Structure formats: C-alpha cells, structure tokens
Amino acid sequence: MKINISPQAFFLLAIAFFPVNYSLAVSMRPADLLVLGSFVLMLFYLSSAKINIAALLWVLFAVTSILFAVFWRLESGGDLEQLIFVYKYIFIFIVLVLALNTFKSRIYLHKASKVFYVVLVLLSLWVFVYYYLVLSGSIRGNIRPSFPFSNSYLESDAHLYSSVLAMLLFSYVYILKDILGHGNKRVLATVTLCLLAMIFTGSRTGIALVFIGLWLQLLSTLIFSAKSTYFISLRRTTVYILMAGFLAASIPVFVTLYSIDLSTYTGLVDRAFNFNLGEDASSLGRFVKFDIALNEFSSSNFIGTGPMHASVDWYDNLIASLLVHGGIVLLTVSFGATLFCFAKGFHKAESGIYLTKPRITFMILLFMYFTANIITEYILVTRSALPSICLIVIAYYWSKYKVDNKELR
C-alpha cells in the first residue's frame, strides 16, 4: 500500500485535526504541526510542483513586514513568551498559501469538502456529548462547551466554538452541500443539528454571524433581482435555515409540554440570544481593552509596542492587537491582504459573472470573518484561522470552476 506524503495530504490531515485542542507546547496544537509539515513539503516540492509563486512572494513580503514591525524592540527586553504571536501572524499567510495551492485541484477541493462536513457534524454532536460528560461528572469543566481534547475544560472557548460553527454552517448551506450533492433531508438534519449546537454554546457570536450572512444573501437577491438561477438556489437554501431555525426554536415548547428539566441550559440559551451589549460584562470588557490598546499605540509613536511589551495578551479585537503588536506597518499589511481578497471578488464581478452563488458567498464569507475578528481576534487562533481561511478559499475556487462549467464530482 502506497502512503501519500504529499503536502496536500498533510494539509487535509491538518483540517481534520483542527478541532483537537490539546496543547503540545507553547500553544502549539496537532494541527499547527501538520500545517508546518505541509508547508515544508510544499517548499521541498517547489521545483517539481506548480506552486502559486505570487502567493508565496506575498507571504515573504508579509513575513518580512511582520518581523520588522515586531523585532525592532527585541533589544529593550520584554516577555519572550509573547513572541508566539509572531508565529500566529505568519501562520495566517502560510495557511493561505497552502489553501491556494491545495484547492486549485478539484480533487482535493472535493476531499476537503468531505472532511469539513464530517467535522461540522462531529463538532455539533460534541456540544451535547460535552454536556453529558460534565453533568454526569465524567469530566470537570465549565457548563459552556470547549473544543474536544482540551488540556482543561474549566475555561471555556465557547465564543470561538460558536464562530467556527457559524462559518462551517454557512459554507455548508451555500457551497459544500452542492459540492457533495447532499439531498434536502440530509441538509435539513445537518442545519438543525448545527443550529441547536450553536445555541447551546451560550454564545451570541455564531448566531450573529449567521444572521449577517443570511441578510447579505437576501440583500444580494434584491439588488440582482430574480433573473438568474442563483435566486432559486438562494431561496431554497434560505428556506433550509429558516425551517431548521423554526425546529430549533420549537424545542423549548416540547420541553415545557413534557416537563423536561433543562434548567441547566436555560442560562445558555438566554445568553445566546441576549444582544443587550450595554449591560454585558464581556462586551464592556472589550471596550476597556480597546481603550488600553489605543493608549499604548499612541504612546509608542504609532509604531506599536510589539507583543513582548503589550500590557494585555488578548485584546478581544483584532484591530487593537494589530495596533499594539505592530502599529501602522502591521495594520497596513493586514488590511492590504483583506482588500486584496475583496478585490479578487470584485474583479470577477466586473467581467460579468457576479451573479453566481459561489462568488457572492465568497464575498459574504470574507465579510463575516472580518466582522468576527472585529469582535475578537479569532484569526490568531489556529482552530479558527485554519478552517475559516480554507472555507473562503474553497468558495473562491469553486466560483471559478462553476464559471468554467466544470463539475466537481
């Protein structure tokens, strides 16, 4: 039996293992090692494989800018452990290059879609398995779920969990289900399961992201009218989510009718739908941290203090982290990369293919993830950066295949 040690195979393994939250050392998870292994293999095969050289050059430019923005403060001391943030920034661009070079192959794009679907189902089921394990005393942990195989469950990462589920769900409804050829019954069952899991994380982030994505899809329908098949597909997939949402919302009714004691979960559901940010300690804390970041940014002559001299590890806002860690340089590189991605979408729109569902979904996914990182710097966490970047790249490539009338199955 021949073993496939190609960079693409390693990358698929990294996607499969991204939910595993077991910290090996210095915040490194199994997925980090697999991504780095895939990147090394890609460089090894550089001369024989068709590597996206433009993307690789972009990574080198970004890495150089990040190192310049961060290491200039090395001589003045600081917390060396915070240098892990340098890796986290570089990791983003490594994943982008790997995704661009892996998913340009329709075979690997289809394989990745299968992996993401399995992960979506397992992560949704894990929410309920986690509650059972906590309530039965099998594990000690926070009532709000965390990713599986965590070193400790006492501190929840439910915000991150919810946002990842939202990106997976939206991608599945508007892209992955079509790539995989799933029927209506399976789609409805999957969406219902995922929505319930998202609600029981007790986090409003995922619900807000799905809501934003749905409204942008509906808005695009109003703008582009109903003259394309995109409208028909949009209407069908929107019905999936609305029907699944209705089923999820009806659960409390059945609980009341059959006198089921779910008092443990009441606070989680209330919190998931509580958008009164003015009285929420988590939201207020974000404003306080952003103010701290602005003060540090201005006191550093707008060039940042570097992560080693930051007064806070996590600012719960990507813009705040960028301003403190690298100042204007890091902020410019990051926004430049984001605008470049948006420009790729609008460039195709000018050529007359902007009514395709994948093209619009690509733009919406990008906007959803940008919005998520305004809430918290999710992209600096492997469990969010790896799947989200891959899903956005899949949406981009699939739109190109659909335009060329190429089948994926």
Mean pLDDT, to the nearest integer, of 318-340?
76
Complete DSSP assignment for 54-116: HHHHHHHHHHHHHHHHHHTTGGG---GGGGHHHHHHHHHHHHHHHHHHHTTSHHHHHHHHHHH
Percentage of the residues of the chain whose pLDDT score is greater than 90:
26
Condensed to tens digits (0 to 9), the pLDDT of residues 179-231 reads 999 988 899 899 989 988 988 888 888 888 988 888 888 777 776 654 444 45
Q: For residue 23, what are the CA distances in angstroms to 80, 116, 147, 383?
A: 19, 22, 12, 12
**Rounded to two decimals, what is the model's pTM?**
0.80
Please give the pLDDT value at position 349.
46
8 Å CB contact between 91 and 390: no
Distance CA 103, CA 101 (A): 6
Widest distance between CA atoms in the chain? 67
Residue 336 class from Cβ within 10 Å (0-12 exposed, 13-18 middle, 19+ buried)? middle
Q: Look at 201-215, 221-235, 349-363, 387-401 and tell me which has the smallest mean pLDDT.
A: 221-235
**DSSP conformation class of 28:** B
Distance CA 377, CA 396 (A): 23
Sign of CA dihedral 162, 164, 166, 168: negative
Q: For residue 27, what are the CA distances in angstroms to 24, 151, 382?
A: 7, 11, 10
Inform me whether the pLDDT recorded for 306 exceeds 80: no
Helix (H, G, I), strand (E, B), or coil: what is residue 231? helix
Inform me whether the pLDDT recorded for 81 exceeds 70: no
Q: For residue 57, what are the CA distances in angstroms to 53, 111, 246, 313?
A: 6, 27, 48, 30
8 Å CB contact between 238 and 213: no
Short-list 355, 402, 365, 358, CA closest to 225: 355
Could you give the dihedral angle defined by the CA atoms of residues 240, 246, 247 and 253, in that order, rounded to the nearest 10 degrees?
Answer: 180
8 Å CB contact between 184 and 115: no
Cα atoms found within 13 Å of the Cα of residue 232, Cβ hemisphere only: 3
pLDDT band at 275 (very low <50, low <70, confident <90, very high): very low
Distance CA 42, CA 44 (A): 5
Please give the pLDDT value at position 181.
92
Distance CA 392, CA 272 (A): 25
Short-list 392, 409, 406, CA closest to 358: 392
Cα atoms found within 13 Å of the Cα of residue 105, Cβ hemisphere only: 15
pLDDT band at 240 (very low <50, low <70, confident <90, very high): low
Please give the pLDDT value at position 254.
42
Distance CA 378, CA 106 (A): 28
More confident residue, 124 or 287: 124
Q: Which two tokens stand for residue 311?
A: 């007064």
Q: Which two tokens stand for residue 79?
A: 């917390």
Distance CA 28, CA 392 (A): 24
Please give the pLDDT value at position 193.
93
- Helices 184-199 and 229-257, axial angle in degrees (round to 10): 50
Per the prediction, the chain carries an average pLDDT of: 76
Short-list 317, 389, 22, 363, CA closest to 159: 317
Please give the pLDDT value at position 408.
44
pLDDT band at 272 (very low <50, low <70, confident <90, very high): very low
Residue 56 class from Cβ within 10 Å (0-12 exposed, 13-18 middle, 19+ buried)? middle
Condensed to tens digits (0 to 9), the pLDDT of residues 147-182 reads 999 988 888 888 999 999 999 999 999 899 989 999
